[in-house]
Structure 1
Amino acid sequence: MTRIREITVTPVAFRDPPLLNAAGVHEPWALRSVVEVVTDDGLSGLGESYGDASHLDRLRAAAEALTGADAGHHHDLYARVAASVGTGVFTDQHGLTGAGSNGKTVDSVFAPFEVACLDLVGKATGRRVADLLGGPVRDAVPYSAYLFYKWAGHPDAPEDRFGAALDPDGIVAQARLLVGEYGFRSLKLKGGVFPPDEEIAAVRALTDAFPGLPLRIDPNAAWTPETSVRVGTELAGALEYLEDPAPGIEGMAEVAAKVPMPLATNMAVVTHAHLPPAIAHRAIGVLLLDHHYWGGLLKSAQVAALCATFGIGLSMHSNSHLGISLAAMTHLAAATPNLDHSCDTHTPWLTVRDGQDVIAPGALAFAGGAVPLPPGPGLGVELDRDALAVLHEQYERCGVRRRDDTAYMRRFHPGFAPARARW
């Protein structure tokens, strides 16, 4: 394989609706970073990651350390990134993806470069990334309608096209919109926003409106174990799984022993060191993979194989992302035999439908709630440089440098105080 000649890391910003969660509310701008790795023979590969300022600093340091490396030598690339990170720890400001650690930080910094290098290897060999991960076991990857309580619009802006969703009727209307536009065949509600009984009512309303569709709720550890058991008991038969109802592996284990549905997580188990205690305590039945912080696609595939060994189901976590990430998620999910639940995605909420993406249109599209695997080599997507320039200019002008759902909520509700196990 050829050597890395240069790496460019470009921060971008794009519009984000006021989606509510246990930590607060999404700001008007979402931040991401686009990584482009170019080899000495002119091939280029793409990766995507978070856009917070401290993470960008680490990405740029890693890019310098990776220059000159062989793009196909996975272990050497990882060692170089680990050395560039040192003992640093990156913790997401909104706190919805679990605790930070040095290992998780190294994995998070490494992930976009690994994706870009796999994109390169695929282009050099004429193979799709899914082929490099063992070959696809499905031609299209199912995604879930990701439902949020939300304001009608940001307070200083007009109402957005989704409108308000602050009660069961609003959530059902939102679900009808997303199912109608994308054909989703499963539903996920982001909870932890209102008292649990109100969110139970929303789940029941969705069950009545969409009989037979798998349904899940994720309160981001906003409930105590006692409340989690009560909710899980009341919603017996309504949920395919209950995601992160209570904090920590021990709290999840307490709930898992007393509710009829499996528990899922992308908060209690977020790095490899968490797997042994979670398995020992029987804390989870479903793991939500996220290659952005599990160390890229190859390490995520290894985790998936481990989950198969221990009978743990798989889904996939999503944060606000653009098309490069959607492509990487789709390749990973297509090549994961034991991925047995629809994946999460924020794509319907973002401005990609209005052309604000960094990839050229046409490579990715939803059909029946699923994204067909792109046929081209590598990730099967190409960088739209004009669009990248627009989104980078938006980053320069928007003034946001780290995601902070809590601080933004406090601008409008000064007394807001997020807390795990608050109910």
Structure 2
Amino acid sequence: MRITDVRATTVTVPLEAPLRHSNGAHWGRFVRTLVEVEADNGLIGLGEMGGGGQSAEAAVQGLRDYLVGHDPARTEALRFMLANPTASLYNNRTQLLAAIEFACLDLQGQHLGVPVHELLGGRVRDRIEFASYLFFRYPNSTGAGEVRTVEQLVDHARELREEYGFRTHKLKGGVFPPEYELRCYRALAEEFPGDRFRYDPNGALSVEEGIRFARAIEDLPNDFIEDPTFGMNGLRRIREKTSLPIATNTVVVNFEQLAANVRDPAVDVILLDTTFWGGIRPCIRAAGVCETFQLGVAVHSSGELGIQLASMLHMGAVVPNLTFAADAHYHHLTGDVIAGGKFEYRDGAIDVPSAPGLGVTLDRDKVAEYAELYRELGSYPYDRDPGRPEWYPLLPNFDYADPAVAGTPLPGTAVAGRTRNEASPA
């Protein structure tokens, strides 16, 4: 089997409502690039990466000279072909490598008639548990979906728990002052006794704020506190001052950083992302290192559609030391590009695909619909907040630059296609 072609298509898939975070917001949709790798036996392997547009599609097409004629079973060679560590300062192709690796593993599995997890050592679990992944949200274009107050957050979490069965809840913070988000977090824990909780402000807190927040929740049933501040030294300082495990998906995302953390620990739980680490196989290797040194591992979400979610499911299926519920933005999506519709949650978990390859195929009509939607709406600046057009993120994010927090109504600003005014979150 040899690769004969590679194609890329940018799509945008709507969210239930715009999701806020410390860096800005997802503006009511995800922009993703779908990758198709075709082989000489007629099979097509699927990959996915974040972002899109002409530059992303051109970057994928730029790999054609590397890939045509290559045996997709030689996945280890891809690492040096596409993202040679000695050239990484110049090409930075980690996400591209990941998308191509997904597709090559998909081709191998289809060719052999086995699911990808069988190529990776075989599954040790049939289902992957997921966390609720709660965001503060702007209202959508119909005026619904807002999550800003404590009551709205708890109601939203309850709805998700009832619909999908989540028993672990992750609050994405870094939007409002720590004192307010602490109220929100403790309200969740009070509402759902017996469940597990985790907090992630995306590194927006100062070290001192991170220490205070961590100490203030030590009595709760926490999995961990994720990236309370930015940088390995800052996380190490917080780790020394709290009993909570420290997790990251920002400062340990490659093997050199993992080695540094083993030698001088700053992080207890490594969140493995099949895109950030360059594919499924690097995540499995990293999980093996974590198992050796008794570090925890979890599955990170970077705003996936069904193709990348499938990669997360196959990875999670074969990692024996996965003891935490996985993250996924997936339940915030209103649709998907895969045939048969979205993956289904059952009792807070999703079944690992059992069909050959990744176990997903494209719904060509949906791809065309969401590709046209991207052409209509275009991309959006991830590091900007549509409700605060003059704002930009700082680290640490002391004042959050949000007049709503101080009780001053926001002036009318366009959010997800409408004008809104916002009062204090409290």
Match of 1:94 in 2: none
Counterpart of 2:253? Answer: 270
The answer on 1:188 being equivalent to 2:175 is: no
Identify the residue that residue 350 of structure 2 maps to in structure 1.
371
1:314 corresponds to 2:301:
no
CA contact (8 A) 1:140 1:373 kept: yes
Gaps of 5+ in 2: 399-426
Alpha-carbon distance in structure 2 between the residues aligned to 1:381 and 1:82: 26
In the TM superposition, what whole-angstrom CA distance separates every residue of 1:21-43 from its partner, at most 9, and x where no partner exists?
Answer: 10122113321011111110111
Contact 2:274–2:312 (CA<8 Å) still a contact in 1?
yes
1:28 paired with 2:28, answer yes
Matched, 1:7 2:6: yes
1:158 alignment counterpart: 142
Among 283, 296, 315, the alignment partner of 2:266 is 283
- In the aligned structure 1, how far is the partner of 2:341 from the partner of 2:323? 27
Matched, 1:217 2:199: yes
CA distances 1:195-229 after superposition (whole Å, capped 9, x unpaired): 11111111110111111111000001111111111
Q: 1:197 to 1:274 in 2, by over 3 A?
A: same
Q: Which amino acid aligns with 1:254?
A: R
Distance, in Å, in 2 between the alignment partners of 1:274 and 1:87 is: 15
CA distance in 2, matches of 1:278, 1:164: 39
In structure 2, C-alpha distance between the alignment counterparts of 1:83 and 1:269, rounded to whole Å:
19
Kindly state the Cα deviation for residue 419 of structure 1 after the two structures are TM-superposed: 1.1
Q: Secondary structure at the match of 1:110?
A: helix
**Consecutive unaligned residues in structure 1, runs of 5 or more:** 90-101
User: Equivalent pairs: percent with the same residue?
Assistant: 37
CA shift, 1:61, in A, is: 1.1
Q: Equivalent residue for 1:418?
A: 393
* Aligned pairs for 1:52-131 within 5 A: 52-53=52-53, 54-82=55-83, 87=88, 105-131=92-118
Aligned to 1:92: none
Task: Please say if residues 364 and 374 of structure 1, whose CA atoms lie closer than 8 Å, have aligned partners that are also in contact.
Answer: no
Q: Distance in 1 between matches of 2:168 and 2:373?
A: 34
User: 1:173-213, CA deviations, whole angstroms, 9 ceiling, x for partnerless residues?
Assistant: 11011111111111000001111111111111011111111
Contact persistence 1:363–1:374 (CA under 8 A): no
Number of matched residues? 395
TM-score, L = length of structure 1: 0.89
1:144 to 125, 131, 141: 131
Indicate the residue corresponding to 1:299 in structure 2.
282
- The 2-side partners of 1:193 and 1:210 are apart by 23
Match of 1:151, as an amino acid?
Y
The 8 Å contact of residues 146 and 152 in structure 2, kept in 1 or not, is answered as yes
Other-structure match for 1:259: 242
Structure 2 residue 167 is matched with structure 1 residue 168: no
- In structure 2, the residue matched to 1:95 is none
Distance 1:278 1:84, change over 3 A: closer
Match of 2:409 in 1: none
Shift of 1:80: 2.3
Q: Distance in 2 between matches of 1:47 and 1:177?
A: 32
**Other structure's SS at 2:347 match:** coil
TM-score, normalization by structure 2: 0.89
Partners of 1:29 and 1:398 within 8 A in 2: no
- CA-based RMSD of the aligned residues comes to 1.8
Corresponding residue of 1:338: 321
CA contact (8 A) 1:142 1:342 kept: yes
The letter of the residue matching 1:272 is F
Contact 2:273–2:302 (Cα < 8 Å) also in 1: no
Name the SS of the counterpart of 2:36 in structure 1: strand
- Say which of 295, 303, 307 aligns to 1:324: 307
Determine the structure 2 residue equivalent to 1:228: 210
Matched residue of 2:93: which SS? helix
CA distance in 1, matches of 2:64, 2:160: 38
Q: Is this contact kept in 2: 1:134–1:335, CA < 8 A?
A: yes
Cα separation, 2, equivalents of 1:297 and 1:141 = 15
**2:160 is aligned with 1:178:** yes
Give the Cα–Cα distance (whole angstroms) in 2 for the partners of residues 85 and 35 of structure 1.
Answer: 25
- 8 Å Cα contact 2:18-2:29 kept in structure 1: no
Distance 1:24 1:37 in 2: 33
Would you say the 8 A contact 1:12–1:51 is kept in 2?
no
- Deviation of residue 277 (structure 1)? 1.9
Correspondence 1:132 to 2:107: no
* Distance change (3 Å), C-alpha of 1:404 and 1:49: same
Mean Cα displacement is larger for which, 20-29 or 140-149?
20-29
Corresponding residue SS for 2:321: coil
Give a deviation string over 1:72-113, Cα, whole Å, max 9, x none. 111332222136995566xxxxxxxxxxxx6xx332110011
Aligned match of 2:359: 380
1:45 lines up with 2:45 in the alignment: yes
**What is the match of residue 405 of structure 2?**
none
